[in-house]
Amino acid sequence: MATMKALQITKVHESQLITLDRPEPGPNEVLIKVMASGICGTDIHILEGGFVADYPVIPGHEFAGIVEQVGTVVSRIQTGDHVAVEPNIACDNCSYCHSNQQNFCENWQAVGVTLPGGMAEYVVAPENAVFPIGDLEFEEGAFVEPLSCVLHGVQKARIRLADHVVILGAGPIGNLLFQTVKVQGARSVTVVEPDQARADFAKEAGADQICRSLDDLPGEAFEVVIDATGVIPVMMRTPEFARKGGTILLFGVPPKTKVEFEAFTLFIKGLTILTSFTSVRNSIQAIELLKNRRISVKQLVSHCLPLAEFEQGVNLIKNKQENVKKVLITPNS
Ligand SMILES: [Zn+2]
Ligand SMILES: [Zn+2]
């Protein structure tokens, strides 16, 4: 039997490179040779014990690769296709799935969380979670999942033509958010980011205005305020920047603590507060926007590392050094 290498999180705070049997695709599954696999905050949470995962687990849910083999009843995907994967696997047979809310599926599984993921030379996924990316590069394909989440959030915020939008935080997700908001027709996008390198980068990537601190941001100036930090004190200040009747989208993954808003402010300003959890059938949209260059992601990649350097990649992200943006693992290079 053919073997492969994979990065396994054995338990909280412990990972190792292992050799195991290469998986065989079931009848409706696709075997993918992983070419690029993004390290996400969720992977870091799994490593550090802050997220639901079935240990031991091979992490990695933001990846792209080449189809190596297809199961006997697979019809839409062919060997040799370049593909990305929607890692959230819904059952399509529960009350949420039947209401087109697959992100809340009662029998939810996720590649790289509860199922073996993309931090491996090979991974299997059900055919209905696999999407051809055409001639996109694999590095770009690794952004299909995070971009899908961003598209879901931005669509929930119902940005109208010529809205003024502010995005708090300009990491890779903040960057995808402001590009998407521009595609959606916003009149201006302001980005708040204290880190100089990230701020410069946001400016280059097309942000109309950069503020280094919330204290420099004009009050009550934006129809839509989007938090991409998940930092509680930042989230708590969002209502002051929203215009009356405005919308606040809390997009960044927050900690399990309380966030406080002054009830009267929310009332008198008639604010709508939204959250967004993963995505719902946004993969094709994400791929099309990347293919058409409406959204560009290659400049978001700062590091490509081999499998054995997964933990170094995690540390690069955690230490927030200036030149670190998205860190990709390339298991087959
Ligand atoms: Zn992710
Ligand atoms: Zn379901």
Tens-place pLDDT, residues 252-292:
989 889 999 999 999 999 999 999 999 999 999 999 999 99
Instruction: Give the DSSP H or E segment for 32.
Output: strand 29-38
Ligand 2 centre distance from Cα of residue 165 (Å):
34
197 vs 118 pLDDT, higher one: 118
Ligand 2 centre distance from Cα of residue 179 (Å):
31
Residues with Cβ–ion distance below 5 A, ligand 2: 90-91, 94, 97, 105
Question: What average pLDDT is seen over the chain?
Answer: 95
Ligand number with the minimum distance to the CA of 109: 2
Identify how many contiguous H helices and E strands the chain contains and give both numbers: 9, 17
Tens-place pLDDT, residues 11-34:
999 999 999 999 999 999 999 999
Ligand 2 centre distance from Cα of residue 103 (Å):
8
Ligand number with the minimum distance to the CA of 103: 2
Tens-place pLDDT, residues 122-141:
999 999 999 999 999 999 99
pLDDT tier at 324 (50, 70, 90 boundaries)? confident
Whole-angstrom Cα Rg for the chain: 20
Tens-place pLDDT, residues 163-215:
999 999 999 999 999 999 999 999 999 999 998 888 988 998 889 999 999 99
Ligand 2 centre distance from Cα of residue 195 (Å):
41
pTM above 0.85, yes or no: yes
Share of the chain above pLDDT 70, in %: 100
**Which residues lie below 8 Å from residue 176, measured CB to CB, with a gap of 6+?**
143, 146, 147, 150, 295, 297, 300
Ligand 2 centre distance from Cα of residue 158 (Å):
26
For residues 237-242, average pLDDT: 98
**49: pLDDT strictly greater than 90:** no
CA–CA dist 122, 31 (Å, integer): 7
